């Protein structure tokens, strides 16, 4: 009472000072009301900030024309009290604006009063989304609504891989308002809320304990706390006493608590150690640092008996709200400021006679359009509330908090911001956030769920499979206990061994196992009969609508089982098969080319073998290509070509012989059918396992239902395949790959697998929708299937996969193609062409003088101009005459050789253009010295 009296006296003193200053300065006054819970931490914090805002504004704006006079009232956390104070302020003090109230439930009623009297109501602490309705246009929220933070919380849930969360909230408008939006946000990120824990404001410690005990019996271990700090303090204290602030648990507090986390009692912070929180991010500035220092001093003066507190975001929003109101008041004319009173009517209530403010609409409009940079950041109420901004993610550690990251609407969770809080410096997934110390002082992320502590066992549904190798279920006739064995059971129990926690379980038999319908078996999980269903359960699309599946632990796909036949080729033209067509033609082309090269090289040196007609010589040259090692070649270049060609011929011949031998001798087991669509065209009968979804698949593939037969066991399949489609059996079995492996392990000879012909997801374990165990089981299954454990399990139940020699069709030897010998052909082509070019160069070099003379003659005949034509004719005539008159003395030598040479010399003296025509009467005559004259006829 003494503190309250002091507070009242101080407020009256401040109001008198402001009124005096207003009177002295001649400024107009504008009454404003403030409604807070002055007994709460937020109320005390806001009151100090509001008073400092009034002082700071009028110190900065010394030439003000309108002075705001505040009337502060205490709601005492009571909705009726808050409404009563608002009515008193409106009727008796004619306030033109109301700051507050503090709680959302109080603001709901006060906002209606403001709307009726046209008085703006500005609350910086009421965050309930229900207050955002357009039906109360005079209500302004100088803070962020709770809706703004739900996406940040949902992003945290998704980042850490949690599938289920439980909200713990106070049962008020403030607590309930966020839940619908939180549910939607979590569903969008793939998480759900299996239970909602509503805590009454008047809940006793015993009631809180009972609620926490109830939460401990559930699987979910992730909690979102959305309540006032007073109730949250008791909640966390009790949770620590019950061991719920330890490993396996994760706690997230909303901004209502996180914004004042550093002002909470240290003993409460110890209980909250390890919790995460989201709060509004306030950018740092020098003005904020200076104000924080002054605020700490002022708060100690205002509340000397209270423990030290740190300035929270609500205090900053209160400060900025006062500045927004003061700036708007400066722009509103006070000339027509009248508070119209309603006429008193009989039987009317007190609210019915409430007046309306004439400057209210103008004042509201100025506040909505007033934008400035406040201590909390950008202050803008154009949309009647502050706009979503950046949220800071904190971790409660020791007796304080540390920053681990941020969240923005545009970029999601990020690690750091630049100084302006607008540029991303590191964007990545959750592991890149700063390290988090979780409850129990651990750095390992809690998995978010745990088997309940009430001793309940995990009920695992089992059933006997058509293939006992996968699962066989037996019931003890005395104890009725269920035992199960098989491939699926070994995988399931191996998963349980590798989980980082223990699970107690019991097998529960599927009562309708005789029906053979696996869809009904899986649907029992959805109905809650089983907590899980295991076995040879195919992961199908239709089943995912009512159950969640782990990753598959077997191979996937649907294939065919068909008989095999001896595919040895007995065709009359089988000798052509070792080589492909391109290799045959390529070899022939190089045969011909090599023969032509050898013919050209040997023709140059007059090989005795190359005589006769052209076609005979060409045939002999090509014959060289086939039997070059048996024929004589004289040229060195020809021998080089032959050596290279013999090597190429040897390689091709050897390869041809080996491949032909393989084709003729190796037994090739080929499937009788290779295409499922051919079975449909031929109208063949096919089989499938009874109760399998493959029956529906065959209908989708347009199989005639009369041509589809269901069987139970692998022996039934073998018997039907052996008969054949025309003898009352089937031509193929359409089955899943894991089952085919078991079939081939028993019936190795005579059958093979073709496919897969259709994609499927394999076998998995079924859990209820959004079960938290799915992720843990899936990760563990991956560790099993990627190691040696799955191989040992397969050998135990299926056998050695490589023991059967015809579990797949033996591929026939493939024909040799041109590409396989392209290197050899390139070598022989280079050798032959090079030899041909070398021979050509040698020929040109040997006859270079004759070529040069021929070139000179051609140039001489065509190189003279028309101006020398006459001179050339004269010279030719003179030379001709000289040749006619020339006499050669021949000695008495009986040999004609000398005369022949001399005659040739005579001819050379003749003109190149003239023709020597011997005269008929030209005869040797006796010359002096007994010499003879040669005539042309002797030549």
Exposed, middle or buried by CB within 10 Å (0-12, 13-18, 19+), for 168?
buried
Instruction: Give the contacts of 589 (CB within 8 A, at least 6 positions apart).
Output: none
Cα 68–chain centre separation: 58
- The token pair that represents 198 in the structure block: 């509503």
Q: Could you give the count of Cα atoms lying within 13 Å of 27 in the half-sphere of its Cβ?
A: 22
C-alpha separations of 776 from 450, 728, 781, 788 in Å: 11, 49, 9, 20
Alpha-carbon gap, residue 568 to 673, rounded angstroms: 16
Question: b/e map of 87-124 (b: 16 or more CB within 10 Å)?
Answer: bebbbeebbbbbbbbbbbbbbbebbbbbbbbbbbbbbb
C-alpha separations of 443 from 20, 245, 440, 501, 802 in Å: 61, 14, 9, 17, 47
Feature table: binding site for L-glutamate: 538, 543, 736
Q: By 3-state DSSP, what share of the chain in percent is helix, strand and coil, each rounded to 5?
A: 45, 15, 35
DSSP conformation class of 308: P
C-alpha separations of 505 from 5, 457, 484, 531 in Å: 66, 5, 13, 10
Alpha-carbon gap, residue 296 to 309, rounded angstroms: 8
Q: Could you give the count of Cα atoms lying within 13 Å of 315 in the half-sphere of its Cβ?
A: 25
Please spell the DSSP secondary structure of 238-303, one letter per residue: HHHHTT-SSTT-EEEE-HHHHTTGGGS-HHHHHHTTT-EEEEE-----HHHHHHHHHHHHHHHHH-
Residue 416 parent element (H or E): strand 416-417
C-alpha separations of 780 from 162, 233, 522, 530, 792 in Å: 17, 39, 22, 21, 17
Sequence-distant contacts of 842-848: CB under 8 A, at least 24 apart: 843/604
- The token pair that represents 58 in the structure block: 């009028």
**Cβ atoms within 10 Å of 329's Cβ, excluding its own:** 24
């Amino acid at each position: 009472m003494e503190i309250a009296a002091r507070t009242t006296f101080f407020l009256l003193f401040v109001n008198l000072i402001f009124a005096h200053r207003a009177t002295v300065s001649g400024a107009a006054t504008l009454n404003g009301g403030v409604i807070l819970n002055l007994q709460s931490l937020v109320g005390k914090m806001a009151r100090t900030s509001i008073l400092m805002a009034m002082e700071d504004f009028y110190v900065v704006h010394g030439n003000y024309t309108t002075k705001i006079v505040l009337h502060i009232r205490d709601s005492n956390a009571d909705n009726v009290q808050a409404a009563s104070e608002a009515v008193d302020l409106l009727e008796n003090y004619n306030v033109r604006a109301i700051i507050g109230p503090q709680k959302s439930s109080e603001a709901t009623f006060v906002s209606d009063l403001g709307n009726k009297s046209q008085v703006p109501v500005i609350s910086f602490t009421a965050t309930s989304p229900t207050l955002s309705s357009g039906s109360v246009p005079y209500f302004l929220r100088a803070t962020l609504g709770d809706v703004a933070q739900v996406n940040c919380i949902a992003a945290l849930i998704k980042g850490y891989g949690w599938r289920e969360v439980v909200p713990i909230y106070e049962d008020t408008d403030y607590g309930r308002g966020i839940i619908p939006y939180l549910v939607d946000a979590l569903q969008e990120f793939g998480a759900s809320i299996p239970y909602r824990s509503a805590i009454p404001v008047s809940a006793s410690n015993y009631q809180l304990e009972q609620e926490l005990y109830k939460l401990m019996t559930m699987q979910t271990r992730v909690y979102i706390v959305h309540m006032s700090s007073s109730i949250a303090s008791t909640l966390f204290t009790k949770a620590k006493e019950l061991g719920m602030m330890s490993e396996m648990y994760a706690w997230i507090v909303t901004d209502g608590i996180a914004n004042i986390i550093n002002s909470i009692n240290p003993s409460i912070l110890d209980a909250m150690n390890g919790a995460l929180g989201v709060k509004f991010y306030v950018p740092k500035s020098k003005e904020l640092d200076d104000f924080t220092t002054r605020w700490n001093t002022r708060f100690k003066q205002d509340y000397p008996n209270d423990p030290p507190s740190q300035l929270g975001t609500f205090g900053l929003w209160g400060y900025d709200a006062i500045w927004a109101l003061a700036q708007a008041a400066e722009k509103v004319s006070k000339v027509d400021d009248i508070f119209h009173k309603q006429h008193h009517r009989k039987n009317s209530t007190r609210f019915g006679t409430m007046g309306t403010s004439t400057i209210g609409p103008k004042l509201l409009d100025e506040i909505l359009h007033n934008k400035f940079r406040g201590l909390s950041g950008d202050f803008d109420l154009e949309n009647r509330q502050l706009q979503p901004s950046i949220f800071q993610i904190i971790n409660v550690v020791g007796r304080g908090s540390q920053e681990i990251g941020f969240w923005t609407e545009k970029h999601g969770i990020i690690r750091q911001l630049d100084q302006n809080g607008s540029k991303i410096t590191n964007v990545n997934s959750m592991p890149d956030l700063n390290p988090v110390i979780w409850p129990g002082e651990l750095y390992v992320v809690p998995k978010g769920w745990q088997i309940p502590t009430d001793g309940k066992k995990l009920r695992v549904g089992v059933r006997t499979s058509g293939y006992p190798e996968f699962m066989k279920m037996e019931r003890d006739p005395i104890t009725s206990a269920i035992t199960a064995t098989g491939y699926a059971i070994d995988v399931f129990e191996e998963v349980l061994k590798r989980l980082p926690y223990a699970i107690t379980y019991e097998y529960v038999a599927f009562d309708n196992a005789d029906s053979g319908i696996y869809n009904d078996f899986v649907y029992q999980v959805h109905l809650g009969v089983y907590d899980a269903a295991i076995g040879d359960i195919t992961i199908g699309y239709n089943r995912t609508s009512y159950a969640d599946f782990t990753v598959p632990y077997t191979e996937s796909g649907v294939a065919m089982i068909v008989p095999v036949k001896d595919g040895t080729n007995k065709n009359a033209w089988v000798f052509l098969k070792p080589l492909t067509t391109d290799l045959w033609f390529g070899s022939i082309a190089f045969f011909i080319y090599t023969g032509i090269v050898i013919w050209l090289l040997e023709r140059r040196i007059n090989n005795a073998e190359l005589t006769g007609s052209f076609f005979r010589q060409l045939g002999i040259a090509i014959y060289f290509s086939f039997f070059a090692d048996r024929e004589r070649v004289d040229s060195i270049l020809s021998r080089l070509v032959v050596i290279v060609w013999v090597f190429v011929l040897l390689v091709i011949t050897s390869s041809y012989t080996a491949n032909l031998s393989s084709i003729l001798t190796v037994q090739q087991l080929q499937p009788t059918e290779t295409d499922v669509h051919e079975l449909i065209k031929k109208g063949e009968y096919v089989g499938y396992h009874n109760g399998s979804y493959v029956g529906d698949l065959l209908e989708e593939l347009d199989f005639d239902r009369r041509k589809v037969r269901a069987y139970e066991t692998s022996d039934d399949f073998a018997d039907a395949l052996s008969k054949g489609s025309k003898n009352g059996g089937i031509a193929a079995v359409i089955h899943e790959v894991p089952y085919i492996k078991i079939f081939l392990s028993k019936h190795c000879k005579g059958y093979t697998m073709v496919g897969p012909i259709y994609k499927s997801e394999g076998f998995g374990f079924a859990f209820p929708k959004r079960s938290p165990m799915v992720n843990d089981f899936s990760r563990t299954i991956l560790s099993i299937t990627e190691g040696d454990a799955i191989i040992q399990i397969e050998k135990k139940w299926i056998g050695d996969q490589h023991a059967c020699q015809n579990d797949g069709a033996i591929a026939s030897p493939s024909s040799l193609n041109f590409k396989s010998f392209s290197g050899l052909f390139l070598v022989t082509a280079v050798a032959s062409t090079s030899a041909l070019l070398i021979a050509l160069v040698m020929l040109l070099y040997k006859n270079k003088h004759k070529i040069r003379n021929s070139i000179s003659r051609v140039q001489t005949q065509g190189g003279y101009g028309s101006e020398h034509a006459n001179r050339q004719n004269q010279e030719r005539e003179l030379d001709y005459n000289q040749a006619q008159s020339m006499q050669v003395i021949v000695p008495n030598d009986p040999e004609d050789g000398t005369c022949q040479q001399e005659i040739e010399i005579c001819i050379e003296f003749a003109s190149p253009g003239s023709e020597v025509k011997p005269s008929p009467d030209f005869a040797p005559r006796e010359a002096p010295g007994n010499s003879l004259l040669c005539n042309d006829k002797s030549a």
